Amino acid sequence: MSAILRVQDLSQRFGGLHALKDVSFDIIDGEILGIIGPNGAGKSTLFNAIVGVVPPISGHVWFKDEDLVGVPPHEVMAKGVAKTSQSVQVFDEMSVLDNVAVAALLKNDSIKSAREAARGELEFWGLQSFADVIAQDLTLAQRSTLELARAMMLHPAVLLVDEVMAGLNEVEVDQMLDRMMQANRERGVTLIVIEHNMRALMRISHRILALDYGAVIALGEPAEVSKNQRVVDAYLGVE
Ligand SMILES: Nc1ncnc2c1ncn2[C@@H]1O[C@H](COP(=O)(O)OP(=O)(O)O)[C@@H](O)[C@H]1O
Ligand SMILES: [Mg+2]
């Protein structure tokens, strides 16, 4: 039960806004950590700080005894910490297969091996029959799944997933949860999942962290956190 990622006293400011306030927590190797919090709580800001897209003003992100703060995003990704984008970023005019193959090129020497890896990844996510479909013709659920498939091509040790289930129906949510749990179990990827769907997050998470106004207000087992009075007041009570 060792920590794979250790966030320590992470702070972020945007002008007068204190978007992250000394955020500290550990993620255990192999864990699925859920993150909840009202809109504007700083969830995406936390992810951006971890992967270096918007570096924090202070604090540390320890990954395998190395501080990721100050490391450029592409290097963070190469080291094994990747993030899906909150708005699903896909090349619309390209086929589903090529969208995944482009991501696979970062870990493969040839286009042929990248395509092969991409086919395997599409199969894992149940998208194999859509390989030749142009990405813009996918449903929202398929696009979100494609985003996960692309992120997995980077072979991340830790994958940060930001609201990929937004707009999906409950059946689609459950399919995505099953595959994410399978990736966690069978492929060893540690997941940090920001999600508004509380039922989904309760199902998938080993622990849940709650953020409010940039500060950690609760961290623990899902049942425990969902009953926490500060969480109910800040988040669940307003749903
Ligand atoms: N790059 C930025 N520049 C200025 N303000 C930002 C930036 N990113 C986020 N914010 C602000 O920081 C706060 C937290 O935003 P965010 O992390 O996106 O919240 P959440 O993902 O929890 O909904 C919001 O008030 C948002 O407007
Ligand atoms: Mg967000």
Tell me whether residue 143 is in a domain: yes
Measured between alpha carbons, how far is 57 from 23 in angstroms, rounded to an integer?
12
Tell me whether residue 17 is in a domain: yes
Q: For a pLDDT cut of 90, what percent of the chain falls above it?
A: 87
Region 191-215: mean pLDDT is 96
Atom of ligand 1 nearest to the CA of 47: 17
Q: Does the C-beta of 40 come closer than 6 Å to ligand 1? A: yes
Q: Which ligand is nearest to the CA of 55?
A: 1
Residues with C-beta atoms within 5 A of ion ligand 2: 43-44
Choosing from 10, 12, 13, 17 the residue with most ligand 1 atoms within 8 A of its CB, the one to mutate for a pocket test is 17
Tell me whether residue 189 is in a domain: yes
Question: How many other CB atoms are found less than 10 A from the CB of residue 192?
Answer: 26
Q: Whose C-alpha lies nearest to ligand 1, atom 2?
A: 14
Residue-averaged pLDDT of the chain: 94
Under 8 Å between Cβ of 74 and 98: no
Tell me whether residue 237 is in a domain: no
* 172 Cα–ligand 1 center, Å: 28
Q: For a pLDDT cut of 70, what percent of the chain falls above it?
A: 97
> Residue 151: which pLDDT band, with cuts at 50, 70 and 90?
very high
Q: Which residues have C-beta within 8 Å of that of residue 161, sequence separation ≥ 6?
A: 83, 84, 148, 151, 180, 191, 192, 193, 194, 195
Give the range of the structural domain holding residue 111, as residue numbers without chain letter: 3-223
pLDDT at 76 over 70: yes
Query: How long, in residues, is the chain?
Result: 239
Q: Does the C-beta of 14 come closer than 6 Å to ligand 1? A: yes
Tell me whether residue 229 is in a domain: no
Supply the CATH number for residue 26's domain. 3.40.50.300
Question: How many other CB atoms are found less than 10 A from the CB of residue 132?
Answer: 9
Region 189-199: mean pLDDT is 95
pLDDT at 90 over 80: no
Task: Count structural domains, the chain.
Answer: 1
* 196 Cα–ligand 2 center, Å: 10
pLDDT at 238 over 50: yes
Atom of ligand 1 nearest to the CA of 46: 17
Atom of ligand 1 nearest to the CA of 12: 12
Under 8 Å between Cβ of 218 and 231: yes
Q: Whose C-alpha lies nearest to ligand 1, atom 19?
A: 40
Region 71-88: mean pLDDT is 84
pLDDT at 87: 47
- Whether pTM exceeds 0.75: yes
Tell me whether residue 235 is in a domain: no
Tell me whether residue 130 is in a domain: yes
pLDDT at 237: 67
| 160-180 tens-digit pLDDT | 999 999 999 999 999 999 999
Q: Whose C-alpha lies nearest to ligand 1, atom 6?
A: 14
Atom of ligand 1 nearest to the CA of 163: 21
Tell me whether residue 232 is in a domain: no
Q: Does the C-beta of 140 come closer than 6 Å to ligand 1? A: no
**Amino acid symbol at 210:** A
Helices 140-152 and 96-104: crossing angle in degrees, nearest 10, is 20
pLDDT at 72: 94
| 112-141 tens-digit pLDDT | 999 999 999 999 999 999 999 999 999 999
Q: Across the chain, where does the E strand assignment appear?
A: 3-14, 17-28, 32-36, 58-63, 66-67, 81-83, 158-162, 190-194, 207-212, 215-220
Atom of ligand 1 nearest to the CA of 37: 22
